[in-house]
Copies of this chain bind each other. A is one copy, B any other.
């Protein structure tokens, strides 16, 4: 394959792929350069530095969400719209479990931009959609705040569990004996370990929608 000249987009997409495979911790300017067939220093022509690159990765992934099939179809109610946004973000988190924590942790561009819906374009889209469904300004903003809080907690927990499953050597870092101190926990360990994450997510989402409904009709 002939080597084209490197573009900014190549660098960012390369970083996304690298993090998906190896995790953000092991992304190094030198290693990313090597994976793109270029010296590390060439990357600085396209991004200001490592931090700026990670910020660009976050932005890229969040913006790709607009192309998710869930987002391209027109919703018939605000409930449907909220459900589509939530599930599109859930898919993103499951597709990029190594990147989602960056979305959560990286300082947003403005204090009123809340992860994981943290781009100007997204917030505008969300507020506009709800208003088109009849929400007042205040109700739309409150719904945005409630949704971001729910999604952040629910999805971060989901990918944290995935992250553990990925590194099996640490999967049972807890020696059998250490549970003897905690008999209640020991008895409930089986129940705790059961994974009902999809049901948990859907139940939480139903509750959230109920809550937004009560914001809408106080």
**Hey, which bits of chain A sit against chain B, CB under 8 A?**
101, 104-105, 107-112, 114-115, 120-121, 123-124, 127-128, 131, 137-138, 140-141, 144-146, 148-154, 156-157, 160-161, 163-165, 167, 170-174, 178-179, 181-185, 187-189, 191-193, 200, 204, 207, 211
Q: Can you offer 17 A-B residue contacts whose CB atoms are under 8 A?
A: A104-B156, A107-B163, A107-B164, A110-B171, A110-B172, A120-B174, A127-B184, A127-B185, A131-B184, A137-B188, A141-B188, A144-B192, A145-B200, A149-B157, A152-B152, A156-B156, A207-B211
Q: A11 vs B206: C-alpha distance in the bound complex, in angstroms?
A: 46
In the bound complex, residues from chain B placing their C-beta under 8 Å from that of A207 are: 207, 211
In the bound complex, residues from chain B placing their C-beta under 8 Å from that of A104 are: 101, 104-105, 156
In the bound complex, residues from chain B placing their C-beta under 8 Å from that of A184 are: 124, 127-128, 131
Copies of this protein in the assembly total 2
Name the prevailing secondary structure of the A interface residues: helix
In the bound complex, residues from chain B placing their C-beta under 8 Å from that of A107 are: 160, 163-164, 167, 170
In the bound complex, residues from chain B placing their C-beta under 8 Å from that of A101 are: 104-105
